[in-house]
Amino acid sequence: MQNTRTGDGFHVADMARRIRAVVVGSIGNLVEWYDFYAYAAFQLYFAAAFFPSADPVAQQLSASVLFAATFLLRPLGGWLFGHLADRFGRRMSLTVSVLMMCFGSLMIAVAPTYATIGVWAPVLLALARVIQGISLGGEYGASAAYVAEVADPKRRGFYSSFLYVTLIGGQLAAVLVLLALQRLFLSPEELRAWGWRIPFVIGALLAVVAAVMRRDMHESDTFKAARAAGKTTPSPLGFLRYPRETLLVIGLTMGGTAAFYTYTTYMQKFLKLSVKLSDDATTAVTAGSLIFAMILQPIYGALSDRVGRKVLLVGFGIAGTLFTIPLLTTLQETRSAWVAFLLLAAAWLIVTGYTSINAVVKAELFPTGVRATGIAVPYALTVSIFGGTAEPIALWLKTIGHEGWFYIYLTLCIAASLLVYVRMRDTRVQSAIEER
């Protein structure tokens, strides 16, 4: 390749190498999140196979509690794979994590139902989700660190935004598989009987492909320089030397992750059980809103490279505090699929202020030697508390007749994070990416 320079002074060959690294890292991220979200997307069809009950809401609540419980394992995965990434390299950590996800998906694909083996069926399902939870807990920190390190410094927000493009894309892929099965191949009865296994088989196969791709990805120059200088930490708790940054990750994540899981995993059930759309309309609105969200991520990421990260975070905090209750209340009262889509699009215009840049902000807080663990552990802990519990809290409040209380809870989470956004530094201006 000709070794010409771009206007920013980077060789074209160097830019191509960076883009390829971002793509490979992000594609693996998409596969991991597809595997994880296939559970949420197909929960409406397989919940009865593992959690028999005469009440559909109770069945969904049982499956959602397991979904939330899986998040409790994510801090363990973040600590384990974050330490591997900081000690031995991002590539090795990312490859092993996606192979674990493959195994968990395969377990769900072949798991016997409650009618076959009784109580052992939900036990095996829970074990598979434990494996997936540990895997996913390790994915975020290592991938966020890797993409931030290999990205063009002047476009770091733009490139890092693709982590949430692929994260949302993983859920979208699961929803599209559901849509295809619903409309083209299987009846609702067939989906409930055995068709729900198909997405988990697809996920296991895709994870193998992602592992092969990651095996050949190059290690980040930033990590190699830190390792050569002896600055990679041998301690799995090295990130605790940075208590302020660790607490910042918790504070800036709380409101954003609660909002994200509300408008992704929970929204499918909300549209079905509260808005009362048909199965097809629920899937179509969910897919359409996720496509819109994916388009927004790089736009906001590029904007953060110009105006800074803090402006977007504060904007999310203010708009989320003011408009969450009106948005969700209006959404609950509509019976139109188009109105539901427009309201969700408005919600994503707000939430993308967090999702598009939260990975790069966290990466810019920590030096290289503890970056993956410093991102992964507090992030996974916060997601476990506020993200994974969003759906079961919402469903529980619905079952006791106080669905609107969830809207207040979500608003308070966002308002608490807003206080952090206002007081934190702008990491685009004061970045620790090059610190070893």
- What mean pLDDT is predicted for residues 111-138? 81
Judged against a pLDDT cut of 60, whether residue 435 lies above it is answered with no
- What mean pLDDT is predicted for residues 348-365? 92
Largest Cα–Cα distance of the chain, in whole Å? 67
Judged against a pLDDT cut of 50, whether residue 1 lies above it is answered with no
Crossing angle for the helix pair 162-180 and 12-50, to the nearest 10 degrees: 40
Kindly tell me the burial class for residue 330, based on how many C-beta atoms sit within 10 Å of its own C-beta (0-12, 13-18, 19 or more): middle
Confidence of residue 4 (pLDDT cuts 50, 70, 90): very low
Show the domains of the chain with their CATH numbers.
12-423 (1.20.1250.20)
Q: What percent of the chain has pLDDT over 70?
A: 86
The pLDDT, as a whole number, for residue 310 is 92
Judged against a pLDDT cut of 90, whether residue 373 lies above it is answered with no
Confidence of residue 321 (pLDDT cuts 50, 70, 90): very high
Helix (H, G, I), strand (E, B) or coil at 17: helix
> How many angstroms separate the CA atoms of 226 and 230, rounded?
6
**From residue 61, how far is each of 48, 51, 67, 328, 337 by CA, in Å?**
11, 10, 10, 20, 24
pTM: 0.81
Q: What percent of the chain has pLDDT over 90?
A: 22
With beta carbons less than 8 A apart as the criterion, state whether 33 and 166 touch.
Answer: yes
Strand partners, 11: 5
**From residue 322, how far is each of 279, 297, 327, 328, 436 by CA, in Å?**
31, 22, 10, 12, 40
The pLDDT, as a whole number, for residue 85 is 82
Confidence of residue 13 (pLDDT cuts 50, 70, 90): low
Kindly tell me the burial class for residue 118, based on how many C-beta atoms sit within 10 Å of its own C-beta (0-12, 13-18, 19 or more): exposed
pLDDT digits (tens, 9 = 90+) for 229-284: 766 665 667 777 888 989 999 999 999 999 998 998 788 788 888 888 887 788 88
Tokens coding 268 = 């499918």
Instruction: State which of 132-146, 267-281, 392-406 shows the largest mean pLDDT.
Output: 392-406
CB atoms within 10 A of CB 110: 12
The pLDDT, as a whole number, for residue 296 is 95
The pLDDT, as a whole number, for residue 367 is 85
The pLDDT, as a whole number, for residue 342 is 95
Block residue for tokens 């002074």: 9
Compare 20 and 328 and report the one with higher pLDDT: 328
> How many angstroms separate the CA atoms of 6 and 18, rounded?
14
Judged against a pLDDT cut of 70, whether residue 432 lies above it is answered with no
Of residues 135, 127, 157, the one with CA closest to residue 144: 157
Residue 74 sits at the vertex; the CA angle it makes with 85 and 312, to the nearest 5 degrees, is 80
Mean per-residue pLDDT of the chain:
82
How is residue 230 annotated by DSSP?
A: T
> How many angstroms separate the CA atoms of 76 and 12, rounded?
40
Kindly tell me the burial class for residue 407, based on how many C-beta atoms sit within 10 Å of its own C-beta (0-12, 13-18, 19 or more): buried
Strand partners, 5: 11
Confidence of residue 31 (pLDDT cuts 50, 70, 90): confident
The pLDDT, as a whole number, for residue 7 is 47
3-state helix, strand, coil in the chain (%, to 5): 80, 0, 20
